[in-house]
Amino acid sequence: MSAKITRISVFTHCNDLGGKIWNPAIRWTKKYAVFVCIQDDTGRQGLGECWCFDTAPDALLAFLRTEMIQHFLGTSLEDMADISNTMITRATLTARHGILSSALSGIDIAMWDLRAQHARQPIWKTLSPNACGTVNLYASGGLYGTGKTLAMLADEMAGHAQRGFKLFKMKVGGETIQTDVARVHAVLDVLPPDTKLIIDGVYTYCADDALRVFEALPNDRIEAFQSPTKAWDYDGMAQLSKAGVPVMATEAEYRPELHEKLTHDAQVAFLQTAPIACGGISRVTALSRLVADTPTRLSLEVSSTAVALMAACQIAAADPMIAHVEHHSVHSVFFDTLRLQKQANNRHSLPDEPGLGITLPSTDVSTAYSTGDDHIAQLPRQAVTTI
């Protein structure tokens, strides 16, 4: 008999970044994380994370509590995918597609964690028993910062190379084209010649300006140009792709029809998605099938916590369609709990334990609420909004 879901708990964490760093779209002050923990009647607990880019997590917490959790309590693991699909279909009427995708991502990841624990193997092996079991990570940083000089930027990126990374990401689009091209050259000058760089425009440029930036750089050193145009500018991305720009798009997109448009119409080099935003592990595996017969490859975005990173790594360790996974140097909550092991050729192996391979540090998160057996034990509102 399949295990039944008996309790679902939601936790939060706040990373105070102090407003001292930014990209072209946002200055980072406080970055919240929302986690879902699902317990079944065997006592096992599955962990997932939801996409949360809001000023505060309140809206997502309320949505999980009032619109989501009651549909999963008392059901079996085998039922959860059908329930999720029913909720996605219903969103045509509710117009809650985005927040629903974020919430379902956390639930889906927790479901896969439980499923793998029952199978007594890591998630990647549950997904693909004969896969390589390792992942290609790239070092992500290079943001703009208060008082951050060109030399400081170069030192930062060189430090990632010294730690063994072979692929890196930095931001562009926050200064003039001339200034940002100079920033990229300064970084490339200090990186080993056999390494490559992803430049992230964060939806800043028009296609013509993005092409100017790319043509001012040594193209053989640029792995990808992430978000070079507005997210809706498929014609612009197609124009860049035809011009030889390795476009990467677009991190938090969750709509299947737009993923297909990016792959088949814009023909991007990399379809980037965040497992905690697009619908979880189940959705990423569907995207892998989408790109399988195309030149496009997947790249997994991570800009929150070690829970999101481990979810991305578990998928990538199972799937050759995934080119790389982001290892962030700023959004790196709980990274000290990671047990990734460096292997040859910039690959990292995952811990050989059942499930996701990580648990929440209980002293560093706040309980928003926990519900089971038709009972919600919700903490005072202050505990939800003040971390």
85-130: pLDDT as tens digits? 999 999 989 999 999 999 999 999 999 999 999 999 999 999 999 9
- What gap in Å lies between CA 226 and CA 248, rounded to an integer? 4
Same domain (yes/no): 186, 306: yes
CATH, residue 374 = 3.30.390.10
Up-side HSE of residue 21: CA atoms within 13 Å toward CB?
A: 13
Q: What is the mean pLDDT of residues 195-201?
A: 98
pLDDT at 184 over 70: yes
Quickly state the pLDDT bin for 2 (edges 50, 70, 90). Answer: confident
CB 177 within 8 A of CB 24: no
Same domain (yes/no): 109, 174: no
What does DSSP assign to residue 61?
Answer: H
* pLDDT for residue 373: 57
Same domain (yes/no): 115, 134: no
Q: What is the mean pLDDT of residues 153-158?
A: 98
Residue 217 identity (one-letter amino acid): L
* pLDDT for residue 54: 82
Position 76 in a domain:
yes
Position 222 in a domain:
yes
* pLDDT for residue 107: 98
Same domain (yes/no): 144, 266: yes
pLDDT at 1 over 60: no
pLDDT at 375 over 90: no
pLDDT at 55 over 90: no
Position 329 in a domain:
yes
Q: What is the mean pLDDT of residues 36-58?
A: 94
CB 199 within 8 A of CB 225: yes
Same domain (yes/no): 364, 337: no
Same domain (yes/no): 169, 243: yes
Q: How many degrees, rounded to 5, is the angle at CA 86 between CA 81 and CA 92? A: 135
Position 354 in a domain:
no
Domain count of the fold of the chain: 2
Percent of the chain at pLDDT exceeding 90? 91
Position 42 in a domain:
yes
CB 309 within 8 A of CB 325: yes
Same domain (yes/no): 109, 254: no
Percent of the chain at pLDDT exceeding 70? 96
Same domain (yes/no): 166, 103: no
| Interval 291-321: pLDDT, tens | 999 999 999 999 999 999 999 999 999 999 9
Same domain (yes/no): 307, 236: yes
* pLDDT for residue 260: 96
* pLDDT for residue 146: 94
Same domain (yes/no): 74, 15: yes
Lowest mean pLDDT among 47-51, 93-97, 207-211, 265-269: 93-97
φ, ψ for residue 134 (rounded to 5)?
-130, 165
Kind and range of the H or E element at 77?
none
Position 171 in a domain:
yes
φ, ψ for residue 381 (rounded to 5)?
-55, -35
- What gap in Å lies between CA 360 and CA 183, rounded to an integer? 37
Same domain (yes/no): 273, 327: yes
Position 330 in a domain:
yes
Q: Which two tokens stand for residue 62?
A: 């309320």
CB 327 within 8 A of CB 312: no
10 Å CB burial of residue 349 (0-12, 13-18, 19+) is middle
Same domain (yes/no): 302, 380: no
CATH, residue 281 = 3.20.20.120
Position 41 in a domain:
yes
Supply the range of the domain harboring residue 186. Answer: 124-349
| Interval 337-361: pLDDT, tens | 999 999 877 799 999 999 999 999 8
